[in-house]
Amino acid sequence: MFRRSLLMFGAAVATLATGALANNYLGLPPLPVPADNPITPAKVTLGDKLFHDVRFSSTGTVSCATCHDAQTGFTDGPRSVSEGIEGKTGTRNAPTVLNAAFNDSQFWDGRSPDLEDQSQHPFTNPVEMGLKDHQPIVDIVKSDPAYQKMFQEAFGVSSDQVTFAHVQKAIATFERTMVAGNSPFDQWFYGGKEDALTDQQKRGYELFIGKARCADCHTIEQTHASFTDGNFHNIGVGVNKIRDDVESLASAFLKAKRTTEEVDVEVLTNPKSSELGRFAVETNFDGLGAFKTPTLRNIELTAPYMHDGSIKTLEKVVEHYNNGGVTNPGDPVSDFLAGGIRPLNLEKQEQADLVAFMKALTSASIPKPQFAAAPAAPAKGKAKKNTSRKK
Ligand code: HEC
Ligand code: HEC
């Protein structure tokens, strides 16, 4: 069980020293922080504001927080797939940004290495924020007095020195503080608090690490639990949608990839390409229909589930695994299914116990971004409310 050693991809490791986060940290791995982008309060405040600014979309209506809303566990639940500018829909379910700081890679297919890199993509994706390039963002922050002051405080740069890389660093830093541990599970497993879990949840834990084999991929280690191995597996979700045209699709994709590098646009706008999963990144057939193991922390808050949002409840997720990687009994089993995904023969009671255990992974307190609650200072010219879009 405790077999995965932590990958740090060359980043300096820091544990947050601030008191506010310390309480919330029980059970979490060391926080990877890049040496060239240390966490400072001024950067966090700036990143928070940028994350919530709807002006950085072509329509002036969509911010990062539109799809990663604190009210719904930093996702856009109950949507299955995200909706960006002008109601355009993508192909994938928005993962939470809570604890994304610990991910070995970002996105369902891991096509982005870290938070700094990831943050550039939504702005220019045609079904998300729809900008042609990043220049409008730089223009806005350079001419907005509130931002001028904040970039000065965060990076010591005057407005004419601000670049898009500063924007990326600030957003990533804000996200690095959106971490949440100290769930009942953490209090029980790492904190020694015997009554933090119910008897049913304790039975669920035994199944999770034992008969149901969940912890093979959703890992728990001796000192912390990220509930992900950081790897990519085909567990039989979505891949039936491309069952009959895997080969033609894969070769068309390979050809397209040679001529253009727009993997981000292709997988989020073409529902079939999306199902190629990790293949779109590594172009290796092992990755066909494989997606990143997501963390299960705070999973109760982030329905619906899976890369395509196709499974609505935790009960149904457990049924999917119990059926051996088939959501509806009778559906064909994927040819590329990960080893280890096979019928589990769990009793109804055992399935309920597993669900109860997953509900013990909800953090005692979830960090609240400050700019989500209060309208930000009006920007020069148009005073647009800086909160996420109302549904
Ligand atoms: C229109 C909705 C939408 C908007 C706007 C949006 N995202 Fe996302 N976000 C998604 C979806 C959908 C995914 C998954 C895409 C994929 O995996 O291919 C995602 C993935 C992510 C991830 C990866 C998390 C993980 O576990 O792999 C991070 C981090 C993230 N978004 C941060 C941001 C930031 C920062 C912004 C603003 C610059 C932003 N998002 C804007 C919908 C959105
Ligand atoms: C072979 C590795 C593997 C095993 C074993 C495994 N999972 Fe997963 N799990 C994954 C992957 C990969 C995904 C994402 C799949 C996708 O979206 O196509 C996932 C997704 C999930 C999700 C949805 C998460 C979200 O954010 O949408 C839940 C809940 C879950 N698994 C619970 C479990 C439970 C409970 C078990 C044991 C019965 C289990 N998993 C066993 C790899 C695994």
CB 224 within 8 A of CB 26: no
CA of 185 to the centre of ligand 2 (A): 18
Does 4 reside within a domain? Answer: no
Residue to substitute in 91, 218, 300 for testing ligand 2 pocket (most ligand atoms within 8 angstroms of CB): 218
Provide the pLDDT for residue 29.
96
Is 103 close to ligand 1, i.e. is its CB under 6 Å away?
yes
How far is Cα 294 from Cα 304, in angstroms, rounded to an integer? 13
Whether 198 and 341 share a structural domain: yes
Is 341 close to ligand 2, i.e. is its CB under 6 Å away?
yes
More confident residue, 391 or 297: 297
Give the chain's mean pLDDT.
Answer: 89
- Ligand nearest the Cα atom of residue 101: 1
Is 168 close to ligand 1, i.e. is its CB under 6 Å away?
no
Is 129 close to ligand 1, i.e. is its CB under 6 Å away?
yes
The tens digit of pLDDT for each residue in 106-133 reads 999 999 999 999 999 999 999 999 999 9
**Closest residue by CA, ligand 2 atom 19:** 293
The tens digit of pLDDT for each residue in 243-302 reads 888 888 888 888 878 776 678 888 999 899 999 999 999 988 889 999 999 999 999 999
CA distances from 148 to 141, 145, 161, 251, 304 (A): 7, 5, 10, 48, 39
Does 387 reside within a domain? Answer: no
Does 230 reside within a domain? Answer: yes
Q: Which domain holds residue 216?
A: 184-236+291-361
- pLDDT band of residue 23 (cuts 50, 70, 90) is confident
Whether the pLDDT of residue 331 is over 70: the answer is yes
Phi, psi of 355 (to 5 degrees): -65, -40
* 27 token code pair: 């059970």
Is 233 close to ligand 2, i.e. is its CB under 6 Å away?
yes
Cα 299–chain centre separation: 11
Phi, psi of 307 (to 5 degrees): -60, -25
Q: Identify which of 358, 345, 318 has the alpha carbon closest to the alpha carbon of residue 203.
A: 358
Q: Identify which of 68, 93, 141 has the alpha carbon closest to the alpha carbon of residue 369.
A: 68
Number of domains in the chain: 3
More confident residue, 14 or 271: 271
Provide the pLDDT for residue 13.
34
* 67 token code pair: 């799809």
Is 216 close to ligand 2, i.e. is its CB under 6 Å away?
yes
Beta-carbon contacts of 384 under 8 Å, excluding residues fewer than 6 positions away, are 54, 55, 60, 378
DSSP 94: P
Strands 12-14 and 31-33: antiparallel
* 104 token code pair: 């070995």
Whether 209 and 95 share a structural domain: no
Whether the pLDDT of residue 373 is over 90: the answer is no
pTM, two decimal places: 0.91
Whether the pLDDT of residue 239 is over 60: the answer is yes
Is 62 close to ligand 1, i.e. is its CB under 6 Å away?
yes
Q: Comparing 213-222, 313-322, 332-341, 343-352, which segment has the lowest mean pLDDT?
A: 332-341
Does 5 reside within a domain? Answer: no
Does 70 reside within a domain? Answer: yes
Whether 188 and 321 share a structural domain: yes
More confident residue, 206 or 252: 206
How far is Cα 171 from Cα 241, in angstroms, rounded to an integer? 35
SS3 for 288? strand
